[in-house]
Amino acid sequence: MGSHSFKSSESDEDLIDVGNLLAVIWRGKFLIFLSIFISLLIGGIYAYRIAIPLYSATSVVMLNNREEQIVDLQGVVGGLGSDTTVVNTEVEVLRSRLLLGDVVDQLGLVDDPEFNGFLQPISTFEVLKSSLKKVLGISETIPPISKEILEQRYRDAAINGLLEVLTVTNVPQSLVFRVSVVTSDPVKSSQIADEIVEQYILNQVKTKFESTEQATSWLSGRVAELQVELEEAEQKATDFRAETDLVSEEVLQSLEIQLKDTRDRLSELRPREKLLRNRAEILKSFESPQQLILEVDDEQLRRLLPRGEESSTSEEFEERVAQLLQNAREALARVSSQIRALEQSETEMSQQIERQNRDLIALQQLSREAEATRLLYEYFLTRLKETSAQQGVQQADSRILSNSVTPLAPSAPKKAMVLAASGLIGFLLGAAGVILHELRQSTFRTAEQLQEESGVGVFGQLPLLPKRQRKDVVQYLIDKPTSAAAEAVRNLRTSIMLSNVDNPPKVLMTSSSVPGEGKTTTAISLALNFSSMGRKVLLIEGDMRRRVFNKYLSGEGGSSIVDVLTRTADINDAIVRVDSMGIDVLRASATQTNAADLFSSDRFSEMVSDLREQYDTVIIDTPPVLVVPDARIIAQRVDSIIFVVKWDSTQKGQVRAALASFESVGRPVDGLVLNAINQRGMKKYGYGGEYGAYSSYGSKYYVD
3-state secondary structure 671-704: EEEEEEECHHHHHHCCCCCCCHHHCHHHHHHCCC
Q: Is the peptide bond before 413 cis (omega within 30 degrees of 0)?
A: yes
Instruction: Examine the pLDDT at 77 and tell me if it is beyond 50.
Output: no
What's the angle, vertex CA 449, arms to CA 445 and CA 455, rounded to 5?
140
Higher pLDDT, 378 or 313: 378
**DSSP summary character for residue 549:** H
3-state secondary structure of 17: coil
345-349 long-range contacts, Cβ below 8 Å, gap at least 24?
Answer: 345/262, 346/259, 346/262, 346/263, 346/266, 349/255, 349/258, 349/259, 349/262
- What pLDDT score does 557 carry? 62
- pLDDT for the residue numbered 308: 42
pLDDT of residue 307: 57
| pLDDT tens track for 376-400 | 888 888 887 877 776 555 566 788 8
User: For residue 342, which of 271, 270, 257, 251 has the smallest C-alpha distance?
Assistant: 270
525-574: per-residue pLDDT in tens?
A: 999 999 999 999 999 999 888 888 888 887 666 788 998 998 888 998 89
The DSSP 8-state label assigned to residue 142 in this structure reads: P
527/359 Cα distance (integer angstroms): 138
For 223-274, the pLDDT digits (tens) are 888 888 888 888 888 888 777 766 567 777 887 888 888 888 888 888 888 8
Rounded to whole angstroms, the Cα distance separating 22 from 619 reads 43
Quote the pLDDT of residue 277: 83
Q: Is the pLDDT assigned to residue 696 strictly greater than 70? A: no
User: What average pLDDT does this structure show over 406-412?
Assistant: 85
Under 8 Å between Cβ of 365 and 302: no
Ranges 39-43, 445-449, 638-642, 682-686: which has the least confidence:
682-686
113-114-115-121 Cα dihedral, nearest 10 degrees: 40
> Tell me, what's the pLDDT at 642?
95
Average pLDDT, the chain: 82
**Coil, strand or helix: which one is 60?**
strand
Give the lowest-confidence range in 308-312, 447-451, 483-487. Answer: 308-312
Predicted model pTM: 0.52
Residue 70: what pLDDT?
Answer: 38
pLDDT tens digits, 108-166: 999 988 888 888 777 667 667 777 777 776 766 667 778 888 889 989 999 999 999 99
Q: Biggest alpha carbon distance in the chain? A: 189
Give the DSSP per-residue string, 479-517. Answer: H-TTSHHHHHHHHHHHHHHHTTSSS--SEEEEEESSTTS
pLDDT tens string 433-469: 888 877 777 888 888 889 998 899 999 999 988 766 7
More confident call, 577 vs 692? 577
Instruction: Tell me the pLDDT tens digit for each residue of 335-349.
Output: 888 888 888 888 888
Give the model's pLDDT for residue 72: 45
Provide the pairing of β-strand 583-586 with 537-541. Answer: parallel
pLDDT value for 507: 96
What's residue 7's pLDDT?
Answer: 47
pLDDT tens, residue by residue, 595-621:
888 999 999 999 999 999 999 999 999
pLDDT higher at 601 or 311 = 601
pLDDT tens, position by position, 7-35:
444 444 455 667 777 877 887 888 899 99
E-assigned strand segments in 374-505: 398-402, 458-463
Amino acid (1-letter code) at residue 189? S
What is residue 119's predicted lDDT score, i.e. its pLDDT?
82
pLDDT of residue 68: 43
> For the segment 362-375, what is each residue's pLDDT rounded down to a tens digit?
877 888 888 888 89
**Per-residue model confidence (pLDDT) at position 105:** 92
Confidence of residue 703 (pLDDT cuts 50, 70, 90): low
In this prediction, residue 80 carries a pLDDT of 52
> What torsion, rounded to 10 degrees, do the Cα atoms 508, 532, 514, 695 define?
120
Residue 626: is its pLDDT beyond 90? yes
What percent of the chain stands above pLDDT 70? 86
